[in-house]
Amino acid sequence: MTARGRALAILTGLVVFVAGWVGFVSKWSGPAGAGRWGRGAGVAGARAAELDVFRNQLVIWAPGGFSDREVGRVRDSTRVAAISAVRTGTLPGSSGRSGYRVVPLDTMAVDTNAYTTAAGRPGRKLATMLPKGAVMSKTGAKLRRVKVGGRLRLAGHRGLRVSGVVDDAVLGGYEVALERAVGRRYNLQRAAYLLVRPRGPLDDFQAEMRKLLKGRAVRLVTPGDRPFVRGGNGVLPLSQVKARFGEFAVRGLTQGRPDPAWTRANIVSRRLPVLGRVRCHKLVIVDLAKAMDDLQRQGLRGQIDVGDFRRRGGCWTPRLLRDPRTGRLSRHAWGIAVAIKVTGDERLVQTMAQHGFVWGGGFAHPNGTYFEWVGRGA
């Protein structure tokens, strides 16, 4: 073989290797849980930036969402060219088991025309799907192991026909989308956030929104700010939490703790620097340990009140399984959130961020003792 031929063969081999490696990483990247209800599905759908979805839209949101009266005020403003109210809630997916019967499904309900128009070109197919049944995100469909034409099984209900499967970004990271009239039957009625196309100068629009929603902790978010165009603080959508850390069943949407089989497979107890013995998800405890080790090396051990950490529940504990403000499952239920009191040294927050934990002090309702794993570069 000539030198040129050998070079070509080597180059071809490298291309094949890189292609194989990319495929491997795409399939297996990111942490995933274990056990029957803990096998990670992997992140299946594209993100907003990849699809150029929701162009020219702004997200308006506030903790607790918006009443119909508040939605009407925004809709009727001369500063608003178009609006879509996104109503959200939880559907009781069927686990197919007795005892732990329910799998919580993060669900949205929207007016088809308004939402698909806001989504832009990627929303065109969605406009034909929503009137015919439940539309699922790719990650949601993978978790449920359901395809177009199949049925989304719901605990205590007949279930819903799956009329389509779309990229995660088109649904803002939610697992399931329903037409608004269908959503009412499952109590998806309060608007969690608004997708708005502003009219006129942006500064004037922002001033008008804050005036109309006076007294609310309003946040305005542009599509480029986050991987998924949706309301809420800068944490992973529930579908992404499930894909990385596993999905579990519970006794009901408002009661019970995760399936013990999932807990045994995923929640571990380790002795960490600074904090001592901690129960946490096995895929997060390594990052937490590294963060504590870094803090200790920086001489910041005294910045953490270990007693307060334990009183607030630490990382995983049965009494923190539900958010007292919303009644929804807390991220402590997955063992990916920790309660650490910040005493004023910003290096603590920076160090936690370097190891993937976002600080709750920057949330719309600030929580200075809360850190949640979201990944590198938090």
Q: What whole-number percentage of the chain has pLDDT above 70?
A: 85
pTM for the full predicted model:
0.86
CATH for 265-373 is: 3.30.1380
Backbone angles phi, psi at 305, to 5 degrees: -90, 95
- In Å, how far from its chain's centre is CA 27? 19
Q: Where are the domains of the chain?
A: 48-240, 265-373
Res. 4: pLDDT tops 50: no
- For position 23, what pLDDT does the model report? 33
Nearest to 263 by CA among 31, 30, 37, 32: 37
Is residue 169 within 8 Å of residue 223, measured between CB atoms? no
13 has pLDDT over 70: no
Do residues 88 and 107 lie in contact, with contact meaning Cβ atoms separated by under 8 Å? yes
Q: What pLDDT, on the 0 to 100 scale, is given for residue 202?
A: 93
Distances (CA, A) of 81 to 16, 57, 199: 50, 10, 5
Question: 282 or 330, which is more confident?
Answer: 282
Does residue 353 have a pLDDT over 50? yes
Does 322 have pLDDT greater than 90?
Answer: no
Residues whose CB is less than 8 angstroms from the CB of residue 309 and which lie 6 or more positions away in sequence, other chains included: 275, 338, 339, 340, 341
Q: In the block, which residue shows the tokens 């927050």? A: 349
Of the given ranges (11-20, 54-63, 245-254), which has the lowest mean pLDDT?
11-20
* Predicted local confidence at residue 35, as pLDDT: 35
Local confidence band at 12 (pLDDT 50, 70, 90 cut-offs): very low
> What is the band of 326 on the pLDDT scale with cuts at 50, 70, 90?
low
